[in-house]
């Protein structure tokens, strides 16, 4: 039976070779699977068959070690709980255990404590496992838990801090993930439990007196973890209102918004649209990461931007134009409707420029900064464009960049039009004419009176004719120059 499960899982891995690693259910590495991982799973399945438990802990070695480093507090406080922590597990391993292995089947838990993700960052370099993938993996685990245990409440713990100080590169990756995971806590089924402030000093240092190897807590660390989660578990078991534990100010920086500085501060739009469980923005991140992972590691052309770029995919005639390009080039469109510079900056930093090499990147961003924030200034928006451009140059240094001006919007002489034109006058200085080329199409959208209605009926988005007769001709020659004409 054991080998059958392993073979089936390995076959699934091959079948999903183009899928995001963090989302493909699979057992642990082959050697561990044979020596202890599958035997541990089978041992846990005996507990499942015996009726499971009201309280279930799910995770990696940090959860696993409740049975060693944390044994005194576990035996005192959680003698009837079920520990589904497996050392070195990543999100994909947890998914296998829950989805394929049956560890949540056949019983009704009341409270499930989940903490997972540190090994996704710790076992692979950034470009192989960017934060976006880990976030998507945890979201999928939550989906499976809610499907398998529809009556259970979930305590979602922040990934524990690791490394000596705040500059530790893996801790920084985990911090990006934590800032987004908190958004999955709806206060109804999923409750956030912030733990990092309980372990760190005021200057962000992690003491070996609590984490001997700067990763795994000792006995004192487990006492602290218990004290942090116990009020939430007790409330859930008692059927009382559960209050999530959120971070103090020092841990909230990643979710702050600033009027003038927001354009250069990376921020996602995960679960921020008011659509409940429907999160189109993160679903699009998932789709684009899948395109990247399933590629051959190279794209000729990458479109970056907001709805104006997104519309190359959404409008029928624009899709036809892109399909024409795809006869010659490989194309990735990472335009997202509604995005401002800070949202594109988050995507650029956390997965959408990783795992491939681009030849030509076309960047158009900034109009929503003005449209969504009345306090936005041309200088601030231009700084946001520069921040995005800097990340592009850092992550894709070999690519040529086509920097487009923010397209004209509103009427001539309006405050909005003046702000856009001022931001463009600043941004065009970011182009050196060699690695970054300014593509000045701004005036081509205007009639003799400076109006845009003929090609932008809503005074913001170009119509399909404008994509065909203005935008594409302005950049097609650069595509040929930077990518060549080798047929795909």
Q: List active site positions.
A: 307, 458, 461
DSSP 8-state symbol, 123: S
Are 139 and 147 in contact by the 8 Å Cβ rule? The answer is: no
Dist CA 82 CA 63 (whole Å): 11
Residue with tokens 């894709």: 396
Are 135 and 184 in contact by the 8 Å Cβ rule? The answer is: no
Residue with tokens 């993938």: 133
Furthest C-alpha separation in the chain = 80
**Among positive and negative, which fits the CA dihedral 53, 57, 61, 62?**
negative
Task: Name the burial class of residue 466, with classes exposed (0-12), middle (13-18) and buried (19+) by CB atoms within 10 angstroms of its CB.
Answer: buried
Dist CA 173 CA 179 (whole Å): 10
φ and ψ of 389, to 5 deg: -60, -40
Q: Which residues contact 424 (CB under 8 A, 6 or more apart)?
A: 405, 406, 442
Are 385 and 420 in contact by the 8 Å Cβ rule? The answer is: no
Measured in residues, the chain has a length of: 488
Dist CA 179 CA 188 (whole Å): 19
Are 458 and 299 in contact by the 8 Å Cβ rule? The answer is: no
């Amino acid at each position: 039976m054991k080998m059958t499960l392993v073979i089936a899982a390995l076959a699934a891995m091959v079948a999903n070779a183009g899928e995001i690693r963090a989302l493909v259910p699979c057992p642990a590495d082959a050697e561990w699977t044979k020596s202890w991982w599958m035997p541990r799973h089978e041992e846990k399945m005996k507990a499942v068959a015996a009726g499971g438990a009201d309280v279930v802990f799910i995770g990696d070695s940090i959860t696993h070690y409740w049975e060693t480093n944390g044994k005194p507090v576990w035996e005192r406080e959680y003698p009837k709980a079920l520990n589904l922590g497996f050392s070195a597990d990543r999100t994909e391993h947890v998914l296998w255990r829950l989805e394929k292995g049956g560890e949540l089947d056949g019983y009704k838990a009341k409270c499930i404590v989940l903490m997972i993700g540190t090994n996704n960052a710790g076992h692979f370099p950034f470009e192989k496992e960017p934060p976006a993938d880990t976030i998507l993996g945890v979201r999928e685990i939550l989906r499976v838990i809610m499907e398998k245990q529809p009556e259970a409440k979930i305590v979602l713990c922040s990934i524990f801090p690791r490394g000596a100080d705040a500059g530790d590169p893996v801790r920084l990756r985990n911090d990006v993930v934590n800032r987004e995971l908190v958004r999955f806590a709806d206060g109804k089924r999923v409750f956030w439990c912030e733990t990092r402030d309980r372990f760190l000093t005021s200057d962000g240092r992690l003491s070996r007196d609590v984490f001997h190897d700067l990763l795994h807590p000792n006995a004192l660390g487990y006492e602290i973890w218990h004290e942090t989660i116990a009020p939430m578990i007790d409330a859930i078991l008692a059927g009382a209102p559960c209050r999530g534990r959120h971070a103090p100010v020092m841990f909230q920086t990643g979710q702050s918004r600033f009027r003038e500085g927001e354009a250069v501060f990376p921020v996602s739009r995960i679960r921020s649209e008011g659509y409940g469980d429907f999160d189109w923005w993160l679903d699009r991140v998932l789709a684009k990461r899948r395109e990247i992972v399933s590629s051959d590691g190279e794209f000729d052309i990458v479109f970056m931007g907001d709805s104006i770029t997104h519309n190359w995919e959404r409008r029928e005639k624009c899709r036809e134009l892109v399909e024409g390009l795809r006869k010659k080039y490989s194309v990735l469109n990472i335009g997202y409707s509604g995005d401002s510079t800070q949202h594109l900056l988050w995507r650029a930093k956390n997965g959408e420029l990783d795992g491939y090499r681009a030849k030509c990147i076309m960047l158009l961003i900034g109009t929503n900064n003005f449209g969504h924030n009345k306090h936005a200034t041309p200088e601030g928006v231009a700084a946001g464009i520069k921040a995005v451009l800097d990340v592009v140059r850092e992550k894709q240094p070999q690519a040529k960049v086509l920097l487009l001006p923010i397209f004209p919007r509103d009427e001539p002489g309006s405050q909005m039009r003046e702000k856009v034109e001022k931001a463009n006058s600043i941004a065009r200085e970011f182009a050196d004419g060699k690695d970054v080329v300014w593509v000045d199409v701004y005036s081509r959208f205007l009639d003799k009176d400076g109006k845009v209605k003929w090609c932008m009926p809503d005074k913001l988005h170009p119509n399909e004719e404008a994509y065909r007769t203005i935008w594409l001709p302005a950049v097609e020659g650069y595509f040929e120059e930077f990518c060549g004409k080798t047929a795909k």
